[in-house]
Amino acid sequence: MRLLPVLLVLVAARPSACAESHWCYEIQAKHPNSACLGPSQWGGNCQKSRQSPINIVTPEAQIDPSLGSFSFSGYDKKRKWKVQNNGHSVMVLLEDEASVTGGGLAAQYRAKQLHLHWSERLDEGSEHTLNGVRYAMEMHIVHEKVKGTSRNEKQAQDPKDEIAVLAFFVEAGSEENHGFQPLVEALSYVPRPNMNTTMNDSISLFDLLPKKETLRHYFRYLGSLTTPGCDEKVVWTVFQEHIKLHKEQIAAFSKKLYYDSEQKLKMTDNVRPLQRQGQRLVYKSRAPGQLLPLPLPTLLVPTLTCLLAGFLA
């Protein structure tokens, strides 16, 4: 009978213990007295075979002619966006104000939020890597498929592309990025989890991105969310052109944000480790640096004809 009270205490304590074992990044899991689960222990779909992020090897990416230009709607609309520290990253709530079509996507996708991943070190903050190179940060603009806009019924029922993420590498530049500055300034007002603020100045999504004409060059593959439950329903677009921020702007994310309410652990290295690509193919919109609009033989024939005519004359 003495065992009964002990068992009741253990049963009562179990839910709270499970609640404390929430997911976190490796830097948090290694922190003294941490009870959270690092990336190797993430549950849900996180141990499946079509996970993200991956290393993109550019010479192995296959050109897909269907990956044309994107059509951006609402990306030019300036607003004082809401900003939130969600305990894992800083998030900008986009409130369905923008959407994207084209770019080989099977439907229209509405923008829900954007967030970033980063590190104090300028070569360890991106989740994806490009030919093994990791960058200072990575920005994700997360979109959801709009029902009724798929090109055909089969695509409408395809669960692999319910979410479209536009991903951008961020590297250190020599000048301040004025488009990003309202977001950088907002960080001071959301240091702790679950804090919210509104930007002091209005910006558009285009203010955060590289020049529009560079957005034709990108890589495409099917993967997952990079946070639990790691649902494998994401069509990824990773752009070749990088965003450039001054190193002080990059450093602000690690200096001003914290994972915990006590502000003991700086929010940095919020990066999921690379996942196996497996049998998945990575596609590219066109050959990087390709300047010739026509096949080389087509261009050479008239040139050789002229040269031959001149020689015979």
What are the residue numbers of the active site? 88
CA distance 198 to 81: 6
CA distance 179 to 204: 8
* Number of C-beta neighbours around residue 287 at 10 A: 12
CA distance 313 to 295: 29
Which amino acid, one-letter code, is at 185?
Answer: E
DSSP 253-309: HHHH-BSSTT--SB-----PPP---TT---EESS-TT---SS-HHHHHHHHHHHHHH
Distance of CA 43 to the CA centre of its chain: 21
CA distance 135 to 225: 19
CB 170 within 8 A of CB 93: no
Query: What are the residue ranges of helices labelled H in the chain?
Result: 3-20, 26-29, 153-156, 181-186, 205-208, 247-256, 296-312
CA distance 241 to 179: 16
